[in-house]
Amino acid sequence: MNINLTLIAQLISFAVFVWFTMKFVWPPIMKALEERKAKIADGLAAAERGQHEQELAEKKAAERLHEAKQQAAEIVAKAEKRANEIVDDAKTDARTEGDRLVTAARAEIEQETNKAREVLREKVAELAVAGAEKILRKEINAAAHQDIVTALAKQI
Amino acid sequence: MAATEITSSEYIQHHLTNMTFGKLPDGSWGMAQSAAEAKAMGFWAIHLDSMFWSIGLAAIFLFFFMKAAKKASAGVPSGVVNFCEWIIEFIDTSVRGSFSHKNAMVAPLVLTVFAWVFLMNLMDLVPVDLIPRIAAEIGGLMGADPHHVYFKVVPSTDPNVTFAMALGVFILILFYSIKIKGMGGFIGELTGMPFETKNPLLKPIFMVINLVLEGVNLIAKPISLSLRLFGNMYAGEMIFILIALMYSGGVLLGTFGGALQFVWAVFHILVITLQAFIFITLTIVYLDMAHSEHH
């Protein structure tokens, strides 16, 4: 229970220990703790940012998908329309071609008919001339009555 | 066992005497051979056991924390670092909670006080006879009379140790009071409160009364700080010694004493931690007061 020199010695050692703690122990550990705190805060912030970005990206992706679907639908619609058009065109073309062919065939038929008629007419004229010759014999000269016979043939 | 040769009171006395180095009655320097001799040495004597354990324990504390401080980084902590960081965060929270000013000194001071007081108190859990016995054997080997080798293991049961710490805190209280408020401000705080008057005749009387009241208030801080710790640890140590006395009372009493010692030791774990915590809390509060303009 005696108070003696120990008090002074303890006081000095106490001061030295406090000084030591203040100089070498507290600051480095505190610094590490602060740094870790900052690091964790940064990490959390980065994670949040990442999440936000992901959300944005997802949104963008959804938008893109939607757009792409729309475009695809448009393209399909266009293609269908175009196909219909092509079919229609083909139909029209075919009809036109058919008409043309029919017209051409008709014209040819007419031509052939006319030709045949002409030939027939000539043949009838010849026959008429031959018949008249046979009937009239001598009196009628083929050369002299050519125009009459031709006119006759034309009337047939 | 020592108690077979000496009486119970001598046994207790033996346990409560420090290993004191000082001037012996015959004029030479050496170890005190009895409590009376230690007392007769007066102020110019030193308690070697208190010095050894307090400095040794502080060295252990500083060694571990120094190691942690070297390894500490912003990465994942492990082992010693983790433990030290846990303590430091606890101290930091305590200081932030009660100390509202900026001072880089306070937190390390509080950490030192906490760790030191805790470790010194922790020595109380070592069986009371173990280390003194070893010390007596070593003393005997070194040529001293083993019965007169005194060795107190718990430094915080030495009032010198607790007073030194409280005095250190007290010096800081005075230093920061004067530094923050100025000499005039500090004296004004001591004399201007709690009684105030505008009457010039009453003023000097009030100032004297205030000075006495505030002076007591101020002096009470280190005294209560050190005596609370000392008293608690001294009483705890005393009970351990009394329990240890039972070991010389036969098998039955000895067994009972063993059980009692265990129970008291478990309870004491709470006491030593609590005392360390109270010491730092009051230190923080006192230093906060010293930094504040008004109480």
Distance, in Å, from the CA atom of B269 to the CA atom of B261, rounded to the nearest integer, reads 12
Give the three-class secondary structure for B198: coil
pLDDT of residue A140: 59
Residue B73: which pLDDT band, with cuts at 50, 70 and 90?
Answer: confident
Q: What are phi and psi of A72, to 5 degrees?
A: -60, -45
Structure tokens at B34: 């009895």
Whether pLDDT at A141 is above 70: no
Distance, in Å, from the CA atom of B254 to the CA atom of B206, rounded to the nearest integer, reads 62
pLDDT of residue A76: 95
Whether pLDDT at A82 is above 70: yes
- A15 touches B at CB < 8 Å: yes
Specify whether the CB–CB gap between B120 and B57 falls below 8 A: yes
pLDDT of residue B295: 47
Give the chain A residue nearest B56 (alpha carbons): A13
Distance, in Å, from the CA atom of B111 to the CA atom of B51, rounded to the nearest integer, reads 20
The closest alpha carbon to B71, from B84, B89, B88, belongs to: B84
Neighbours of A97 (CB within 10 A): 10
Of the partner residues A5, A7, A22, the one whose CB lies closest to the CB of residue B163: A7
pLDDT of residue A52: 95
Residue B84: which pLDDT band, with cuts at 50, 70 and 90?
Answer: confident
Distance, in Å, from the CA atom of B70 to the CA atom of B123, rounded to the nearest integer, reads 28
Residue B1: which pLDDT band, with cuts at 50, 70 and 90?
Answer: very low
- A32 touches B at CB < 8 Å: yes
Specify whether the CB–CB gap between B78 and A32 falls below 8 A: no
- A41 touches B at CB < 8 Å: no
Say what percent of chain B tops pLDDT 90.
Answer: 11
Residue B68: list chain A partners with CB under 8 A. 25, 29
- Please judge whether A13 and B92 are an interchain contact, meaning their C-beta atoms are less than 8 angstroms apart: no
Amino acid making up residue A155 = Q
- How near does any CA of chain B get to the CA of A50, in Å? 22
The closest alpha carbon to B265, from B118, B157, B127, B129, belongs to: B127
- Please judge whether A7 and B72 are an interchain contact, meaning their C-beta atoms are less than 8 angstroms apart: no
pLDDT of residue A89: 93
pLDDT of residue B294: 62
Render pLDDT for B193-238 as a digit per residue (tens, 0 to 9): 777 777 777 778 888 888 888 889 889 989 998 899 999 988 988 8
Whether pLDDT at A96 is above 90: yes
Task: Give the distance between the most distant pair of CA atoms in chain B.
Answer: 76
Q: What is the mean pLDDT of residues B85-93?
A: 89
For residue B290, how far is the Cα from the chain centroid? 22
- Please judge whether A22 and B46 are an interchain contact, meaning their C-beta atoms are less than 8 angstroms apart: no
- How many A-B residue pairs are in contact by the CB < 8 A criterion? 132
Q: What is the mean pLDDT of residues B128-145?
A: 77
- Please judge whether B45 and A30 are an interchain contact, meaning their C-beta atoms are less than 8 angstroms apart: no
Whether pLDDT at B16 is above 70: yes
Residues sharing a CB contact under 8 Å with residue B230, sequence separation 6 or more, in sequence order: B156, B157, B158, B159, B162, B163
pLDDT of residue A66: 96
pLDDT of residue A64: 95
pLDDT of residue A41: 93
Distance, in Å, from the CA atom of B287 to the CA atom of B295, rounded to the nearest integer, reads 12
pLDDT of residue B5: 59
- B40 touches A at CB < 8 Å: no
Of the partner residues A14, A32, A33, the one whose CB lies closest to the CB of residue B168: A14
Residue B3: which pLDDT band, with cuts at 50, 70 and 90?
Answer: very low
- B107 touches A at CB < 8 Å: yes
Distance, in Å, from the CA atom of B60 to the CA atom of B155, rounded to the nearest integer, reads 15
Say what percent of chain A tops pLDDT 90.
Answer: 47
Residue A18: list chain B partners with CB under 8 A. 105, 108-109, 112, 168
Output the DSSP codes for B26-45: TS-EEE-SSHHHHHHTTTSE
pLDDT of residue A63: 96
Structure tokens at A22: 């203040």
Residues sharing a CB contact under 8 Å with residue B167, sequence separation 6 or more, in sequence order: A7, A11, B222, B226
- B83 touches A at CB < 8 Å: no
**Half-sphere exposure in the Cβ direction for B122 (13 Å, CA):** 13
- Please judge whether A6 and B70 are an interchain contact, meaning their C-beta atoms are less than 8 angstroms apart: no
Render pLDDT for A27-51 as a digit per residue (tens, 0 to 9): 888 888 888 889 999 999 999 999 9
Q: What is the mean pLDDT of residues B108-116?
A: 90
- Please judge whether B50 and A30 are an interchain contact, meaning their C-beta atoms are less than 8 angstroms apart: no
Specify whether the CB–CB gap between B161 and B120 falls below 8 A: yes
Q: What is the mean pLDDT of residues A85-111?
A: 93
Residues sharing a CB contact under 8 Å with residue A124, sequence separation 6 or more, in sequence order: A153, A156
Whether pLDDT at A67 is above 90: yes
Whether pLDDT at B152 is above 60: yes
Specify whether the CB–CB gap between B197 and A43 falls below 8 A: no
Specify whether the CB–CB gap between B16 and B242 falls below 8 A: no
pLDDT of residue A153: 74
Residues of B serving a catalytic function are 224, 228, 232
Residue A142: which pLDDT band, with cuts at 50, 70 and 90?
Answer: low
- How near does any CA of chain A get to the CA of B1, in Å? 25
Exposed e or buried b per residue across B211-248, where buried means at least 16 C-beta atoms within 10 angstroms of its C-beta = eeebeeebeebbeebbbbbbebbbebbebbbbbbbbbe
Specify whether the CB–CB gap between B156 and B268 falls below 8 A: no
Which residue blocks in chain A are alpha helix, DSSP H? 5-20, 26-136, 146-155
Of the partner residues A4, A14, A31, the one whose CB lies closest to the CB of residue B45: A4
